[in-house]
Chains A and B, each alone.
Chain A
């Protein structure tokens, strides 16, 4: 049995992807704690931006909402959604985080509805800022749970653009050039996108996960990168930091 929880692993894997002196558009939940962890470890110069207008905060504890006053605590600016969405559209935001109820091989995402739109089996919250993050960020990172209901060949609803139908499709649709999905992180592994086909590809397995586990939890075939690696487990110091950042255990658990 691993000493760490799946949530701790996801937060650490996500945090390590964020480079120092870059900017990141952060949504509610795991992305927040990942960005906070990155800032307290290898990326002190990470610029964190929230859609409600918080820019460059020094976040004291995990915010509950992306509009929470913690998102502009000791920030360089508390501005507006128009400002943040505009700088994002203008190309200032490097990384963007997404969650998903369903994802397809091209990294397109559904957070709107399961079943037909007019008569939904399950109504989900909709795009929120996701379509904007997926349209504007130079590199989007999706964090989600993986199973056969979620890794699907065809989405019930395409809320947020990944690579759409494949190479060149984003540009053809009018989306900003050279933007789009960068990584997908699940409880099983980390995926990137094949530069030729734009389809999802396994890049790293998490500890104690097999290739069979990955394929058994996807409706579409997943190719494997030549230099497949194993995700390093969370360190003690990372785990301690996560508890400091989330003292109430809202995400990380008590």
Chain B
């Protein structure tokens, strides 16, 4: 097959499919066992310095924030971030110095709220490097290829642009039509953190609302930490098995973490904490301000439960629930 163009971005997260099959054979047990643990233990065990990390959800929606805070608390370094739609999670991980390289589909922005002062500053001052560019579909199909055990997946995006020139994709002639087609290389993150609506102790998980790209990401990542609003009995999973979107054998750790997405939104449960997000965007305009935020909300509290108390406790969480359910 003739290669017409090669993107010059760094290829991150790629494994030969046979190498990854062997890794799966040796590292992913097929038996049902209780995987419940604490977020501190899960991060200590499965997030290593230098890992390629991906976080589930979308923007500020259903993001595994308790896990993100814990990575910062344990001061992981030289992480590579899958900037899929890494918004609040990406901003905090870059600003805290945990991440120093990122492959960007969407990063450095907070959607309608404006650009991210902290993570943009880290890139513009050279503390964090963008090693490759892609698009949202481009990233998600990289996970799709990995989820399918394929070396790449063809697509018709990126073509003709600098995004492709700075990506890890290649362009070939389609052997059937002869037209140029983009090949997106598989991406297997070392570890993914996904926050779900509910799961059992084995990790069989249900997600209310849109899946975004978590179906593919759960299957692409080598290690998968699930945080969940609630752990439910296995019988409840088996009563409606068609609702399982992440089956247990993909999952390495289960952490029950009510309100674990705060200040992000959990569909049908609680809305964005806009005041908290605004406060972060305001104080992170300077490096000193960003550090002060981490001192107060991450290093200054023993765990996520204490953080929830600090951001307003039951009263605030109840308010966010009413807003989400269009009652407040």
Judge: A and B partners, yes or no: yes
How many Å lie between the Cα of A108 and that of B181 in the bound state?
Answer: 20
Which B residues lie within 8 Å of A176 (CB)?
156
Count residues on chain B whose CB falls below 8 Å from chain A CBs. Answer: 63
Q: Tell yes or no: B180 within 8 A of A by CB.
A: yes
Minimum CB–CB distance from B34 to chain A (whole Å) comes to 29
Q: A-side binding surface: helix, strand, loop or mixed? A: loop
When A28-B112, A136-B156, A175-B160 are in contact, do A126 and B104 touch as well, CB less than 8 Å? yes
Q: Tell yes or no: A131 within 8 A of B by CB.
A: yes
How many Å lie between the Cα of A217 and that of B157 in the bound state?
Answer: 31
Q: Tell yes or no: B243 within 8 A of A by CB.
A: no
Residue from the list A64, A112, A155 in contact with B112, Cβ < 8 A: A64
Q: Tell yes or no: B216 within 8 A of A by CB.
A: yes
A52–B212 CB distance below 8 A: yes
How many Å lie between the Cα of A250 and that of B274 in the bound state?
Answer: 12
A131–B135 CB distance below 8 A: yes
Residue from the list A50, A82, A155, A174 in contact with B182, Cβ < 8 A: A174
Chain A residue with Cβ nearest B213:
A81
Which A residues lie within 8 Å of B104 (CB)?
112, 125-127
Minimum CB–CB distance from B273 to chain A (whole Å) comes to 12
Chain B residue with Cβ nearest A131:
B135
Chain B, 69-110, contact with A by CB distance < 8 Å: what is the 0/1 string? 000000000000001010000000000000000001111110
A72–B210 CB distance below 8 A: yes
Q: Give the one of B108, B136, B272 with max A CB within 10 A.
A: B136
Residue from the list B59, B120, B134 in contact with A67, Cβ < 8 A: B59
Cβ < 8 Å to B, chain A residues 89-126 = 89, 108, 112, 117, 119-126
B161–A136 CB distance below 8 A: no
A126–B216 CB distance below 8 A: no
Cβ < 8 Å to B, chain A residues 35-70 = 50-54, 60, 64-69
Q: Give the one of B133, B137, B179, B180 with max A CB within 10 A.
A: B137
Q: Tell yes or no: A245 within 8 A of B by CB.
A: no
Minimum CB–CB distance from A186 to chain B (whole Å) comes to 19
A81–B212 CB distance below 8 A: yes
How many Å lie between the Cα of A112 and that of B61 in the bound state?
Answer: 23
Which A residues lie within 8 Å of B211 (CB)?
53, 78-81
Q: Give the one of A64, A108, A169, A176 with max B CB within 10 A.
A: A64
Which of A156-164, A195-203, A222-230 faces chain B?
A156-164
Chain B residue with Cβ nearest A80:
B211
When A64-B112, A67-B58, A126-B108 are in contact, do A89 and B130 touch as well, CB less than 8 Å? no
B137–A132 CB distance below 8 A: yes
What 9 pairs across the A-B complex have the smallest Cβ distances? A174-B180, A53-B210, A173-B160, A67-B58, A125-B109, A128-B106, A67-B61, A131-B135, A80-B211
30 contacts between A and B (CB under 8 A): A28-B111, A64-B111, A64-B112, A64-B274, A65-B58, A65-B60, A65-B111, A67-B85, A69-B324, A71-B210, A72-B209, A81-B212, A89-B157, A112-B133, A120-B123, A123-B120, A123-B123, A123-B130, A125-B109, A126-B107, A127-B104, A127-B133, A127-B135, A128-B109, A129-B135, A129-B137, A158-B161, A161-B160, A161-B161, A175-B160
